[in-house]
Amino acid sequence: MKYTIIISILLLLLSCEKPFFGPDPANTPEENFEILWKTLDERYSFFEYKNVDWDSVYQAYRPRVRADMTERELWGLLTEMLDILKDGHINLRSESDTYFYPWYAGAPENFNRFFLEENYWGDFEITGSLFNTVIDSVGYVWYRSFNGPIQDEDLDYLADKFAGLKGLVIDIRNNEGGNPENGFRLARRFVDQRRHIYTTIYKNGPGRDDFTEPDPAFLEPEGKRLADKVVVLTNRTTYSAGNFFAAMMKAFPNVTLIGDRTGGGGGAPVGWELPNGWAFNFSSSITWLPDGFIIEHGVEPDIRVDWAEEDRAAGKDTILEEALRWLQ
């Protein structure tokens, strides 16, 4: 009897974890749809800014989900729904496909790396992740991805190389983003004093208005200064960390942005997964410039320039030419 009681108590203890563990969500088209829709409903940051009625989206798409639909059909339906948000930071990933919204669609290309290499770069160097050269007594750096690490030593080398020149062109055209920390490291070499670069709020609850308090971000100078007068070249493919870099550089009085509006990507992406194993990302924050301009749809250049066909035919990059003229 005594041992029965002891064993019963032990079994009771062992089973008392079970009520807390709810069942896993079912791996069905309905449940995968519900979790994706609800996750965005509670955590996506731009419904109001983009004037999207997400409940109406549910009403339109939920009836189209069938228990017997194939994975490909479900993929098609979900990506069609996600397209409504027009957000390059929203993606859906399976082992055989990745969906993302083509934020650059319809914009002029405005960049060709091989054209630049052939017509401008001459005897260029690649210092760390930074392609660099001197064109008409102006320093030039092409940074193709913010995933490429930038070391302080690289920047010190470039500061020495570009010392005494008329200015510096930072070309981030076609830079689709990466790690913003690399942008901070680069931008610290241009800022003249501690400056307010932008302000951000993050979702912090499931309600539409559940956001953190505004967080004003500041940047301070650090290390050898790269140049006094700077031009940043942008196009519509410049995205995400590239967009944030353009935003912070726009806050500096010695910097001019030339080219096209950046592609945007002003919400910090965060990821999760569905019961069927598809992973997805979505924007979770809102960032605005010191003047209140929200950067989700891009940062406007100070001088809007597109690549003219006649310049291309003449072996010239209109946007780079404008930058060189600006810095003379």
Partner 1 sequence: MKSPFFFRAGNLALFWLFWIAQAAFGQEAPPRFRYLELGLGSAAHRLQDPAVSPMAYTGAPLAIVLGFEKRKPHSISRLALAGDLGRLSSKNATELRPMASSFFQINLSYQYLRRVPALSTGRFTWFFGGYYRWHNSIRLTPQNDTGFISFFIANTLGASIRGERAFQIREKEVTLGWTGALPLLSHVIRPSYLNLYNYIDPEHDWLKERLEESEVLTLNRFPGIQSRLELAYPIAGGNQLRFAYDWEFYHYDGQRRVNAARHGFTLGIRIRI
Using CB under 8 A as the criterion, which residues of the chain lie in contact with partner 1 when the complex forms?
Answer: 10, 13-14, 16-17, 20-22, 24-25, 27, 35, 43, 93-95, 180-181, 184, 197, 200, 202-205, 215, 217-219, 244, 268-279, 281, 284-285, 287
Q: How far is CA 60 from CA 46, 80, 91, 295, 325, in A?
A: 20, 11, 20, 29, 53
Q: How far is CA 157 from CA 37, 112, 169, 182, 305, in A?
A: 49, 26, 16, 16, 31
Cα 308 to chain centroid, rounded? 28
Least Å from the CB of residue 19 to partner 1: 9
Q: How far is CA 126 from CA 68, 131, 316, in A?
A: 54, 4, 22
Residue nearer to partner 1 on the CB measure, 115 or 211: 211
Q: How far is the CB of 85 from partner 1 (least distance, A)?
A: 17
Shortest Cβ distance from residue 127 to partner 1 (Å)?
A: 22
Q: Which helix (H) or strand (E) holds 185?
A: helix 180-187
The least distance separating partner 1 from the CB of residue 181, rounded to whole angstroms, comes to 7
Give the nearest distance from C-beta 174 to partner 1 in angstroms.
21
Kindly tell me which of 24 and 123 has the beta carbon lying closer to partner 1. Answer: 24
How far is CA 39 from each of CA 11, 55, 287, rounded to the nearest angstrom?
Answer: 37, 13, 21
Q: Which is nearer to partner 1, 111 or 278 (CB)?
A: 278
List of residues 6+ apart from 3 with CB closer than 8 A:
none
When the beta carbons of 286 and 324 are compared against partner 1, the nearer one is 286
Nearer to partner 1, 136 or 192 (CB): 192
Q: Give the pair of three-digit tokens for residue 11.
A: 């079994």
Termini Cα distance of the chain:
97
Which of 246, 244, 259 is closest to 306 using CA atoms?
259
Q: How far is the CB of 29 from partner 1 (least distance, A)?
A: 14
Give 107 or 217: the residue with its C-beta nearer to partner 1: 217
Q: How far is the CB of 13 from partner 1 (least distance, A)?
A: 6
Instruction: Choose between 20 and 114: whose C-beta lies nearer to partner 1.
Output: 20
Q: What are phi and psi of 314, to 5 degrees?
A: -90, 5
